[in-house]
Chain A
Amino acid sequence: MTQFLAQLPVLPIIIPLIAAPLTMLLPARALKGRIPCLFATLVSWIAFAASAAILHSVATAGPISYHMGDFAPPIGIEYRIDLANALVLTLVSGVAALAFPFSYASIRAEIDDHQLSMFYAMALIAMVGLLGVVITGDAFNVFVFVEISSLSTYALVALGARRDRRALTASFNYLVMGTIGATFFVIGLGLLYQATGTLNMADLKIQLAGRDNPMVEAGFAFILVGMGLKAAMFPMHLWMPNAYAHAPSAVAVFLAATSTKVAVYVIIRFTYTVIGADFDFAGAAFEYLIAPLAVMGMFFASIVAIFQDNLKRMLAYSSVGQIGYMLLGISFGTEQGLAASLVHLFNHGLMKGALFMAAAAVAFRVGSETCDGFRGLARRMPWTAAAFIIAALSLVGVPGTIGFISKWQLLSAAFDSGRAWAGFLIVASSLLSVIYMGRVVELMTLAPAPDASAAVREAPLSMLVPMAILVAANIYFGLSTELTVDLAERAATSLMGAAR
């Protein structure tokens, strides 16, 4: 048992990593393609269980350090898990555990049967990549896992090509932009390595202390820009709306809820536990560069979202704005701001996951991804419509939902750090989200259904149950903030402590 617990940190990585190639060999056509889906679902549940166990262990017993191959850090690769990792780890594996069963109905309608095994293998690898980025304590390992998840994601997005060939250009765009982002990131790592001779994050922090020179500054700038690109930070977000809109719906669910959040996590990780508070330029970069960009993203992306006709594109633009909130929270430079940012990171994953699930269910039953497909939806697919409305309320920030919690945290962090302007801007941009979400909700509830409404049925249970769980999480964490807010505050405290 102790041996099992000692190996716990590596289980969410190694189990899906071994399972992914096995999935490739599973029969895709037998039993209506259920075998690969069930196998991948089971694996994602195991990964989620392991992540939850890690979160529990970290919350009660403090950070975990796991030495890969028994080589001690900083020479060997170290998995170092504190509360910030564990929280994001649980989010990613939790969303995956819901997205895999959800994907079954929708993906069978969208890709060829013979591709199913490969699809689930790639999806598992994408999940492993994201989990690995979060879990590792080695800076270069982050890059490797970023590439693992990105490469499989490009292929996953391109799979949307059977439905709409624009998926190919969207995927290619994403590939070019994503590769530039990863290249910038690795150039930054190279500069930091040149300055210090180490790649272990904790060791980097020690070695970098007092070395405020242009090379380190350039390294940090490269890392910030590279990960900003991956996080779809305004104005480097242009790959994202197309990638999400043309990817298979189930892929969009998983990516929207996890991939950009993981990039934001990496920014937080490098800013606090690698560069640290010794360096004025990191604080200045956030104060004078990231904060204005975050605010511009909040408004620009929300305004663009209002005019989108394709629902998934609208949700993707909304994500760009939400990433703005997270970066704004980090830019305050206070513990509260960082905690608010982490809470929003977690909560936004849950709400965007639910919204994209509802959009996928509509695409599956109605066959339309434009706002028109939502006409009269409350009568045609009442459960899906209810899920969408609750998740939309959550995105807007209505009390009783998680959106309210994260907005409240952000607002109090803004006012407490003497940035009243930021508070007002957060409220103002939230009003924009009322417009773009309200527009769809109005179509769903008030507009009459088109004539063909008789043919449309409610989404299958395999879609409704994961959607319901995610919506329930939207309300549960809105009412009980013990898990998210308390843990995020503790995580922020430890990150800030590490920064000093």
Chain B
Amino acid sequence: MSIEHLVLRVVIKILFAPILLFALYVQFHGDYGAGGGFQAGVIFAVAFILHALIMGLDETKRVLPAAALKAMMVVGFLFYAGTGAATMLLGGNLLGYDAIAPNSDHNEGQHYGILLVEFGVGMAVASTMLMIFYQFAGREPEIRDEDW
């Protein structure tokens, strides 16, 4: 039997998990500083894009359907906005993370706030990147009239 692109298939299977791990590393590295969520999200999405390039889009969609991506986009965004709104309910201003841990002497609240917000950013970016990829890769060559 012969399988197309056997070497590539084996390599992507080996690489898949380390790429996700690297994404998580970027995500949680330097958790006192803002930033990192966007890059982590892109790296996370890259693993799946690589999978789709080699295994075919349909295989990837079986793992991660477009409907799930849509939900992930929303949940990721809500992590961000929800953290901001939660600080309002805790007595701070919008995105005033100090309200999360008001008694801390080293702004521990900022730490948790940034962690939560960046997690939301990573999730939203990863799912949005993949959604864009799905839309372009899954496009039909000619748009039929009834699709309008």
Give residues in A with beta carbon < 8 Å to B.
Answer: 3, 6-7, 10, 14, 17-18, 21-22, 24-25, 66-70, 112, 161-162, 165
Contact = CB atoms under 8 A, between A and B. Distances in A.
Contact of A21 (B77, B84, B95): B77
Nearest 4 CB-CB pairings of A with B = A70-B96, A69-B95, A21-B74, A162-B148
Interface in B80-97: 81-82, 84-85, 88, 91-97
Which size bracket describes the interface of B in this complex?
20 to 34
Contacts of B91: 3
Interface in B5-34: none
Contact of A66 (B74, B84, B85, B93): B93
Contacts of B99: 70
Contact of B81 (A3, A6, A18): A18
Contacts of A22: 74, 78
Contacts of B71: 25
Contacts of B98: 70
A14 B74 contact: no
B42 to A, nearest CB: 19
18 contacts: A3-B91, A7-B93, A10-B93, A14-B81, A14-B94, A18-B78, A18-B81, A18-B85, A21-B73, A21-B74, A22-B74, A24-B70, A66-B93, A66-B94, A68-B93, A69-B94, A69-B96, A70-B96
B81 A17 contact: yes
A24 B74 contact: yes
A498 B7 CA distance: 69
A67 B96 CA distance: 9
Interface of B: 70-71, 73-74, 77-78, 81-82, 84-85, 88, 91-99, 148
Nearest to B99: A70
A256 to B, nearest CB: 24
Contacts of A162: 148
Contacts of A67: 93
A159 B76 CA distance: 26
A69 B84 CA distance: 8
A352 B93 CA distance: 37
B86 to A, nearest CB: 11
Contacts of B73: 21, 24
A348 B92 CA distance: 38
A24 B76 CA distance: 13
Contact of B94 (A10, A21, A25): A10
B97 A69 contact: yes
A67 B95 CA distance: 10
A17 B77 CA distance: 10
A129 B78 CA distance: 17
Given A6-B93, A22-B78, A162-B148, 19 more contacts: A3-B91, A7-B94, A10-B93, A14-B81, A21-B73, A21-B77, A21-B78, A22-B74, A24-B70, A24-B73, A25-B70, A66-B94, A68-B93, A68-B94, A68-B95, A70-B93, A70-B96, A70-B99, A112-B148
A31 B60 CA distance: 33
Contacts of A17: 81
A7 B85 CA distance: 10
A439 to B, nearest CB: 33
A317 B95 CA distance: 42
B148 A161 contact: yes
A68 B70 CA distance: 29
B38 to A, nearest CB: 15
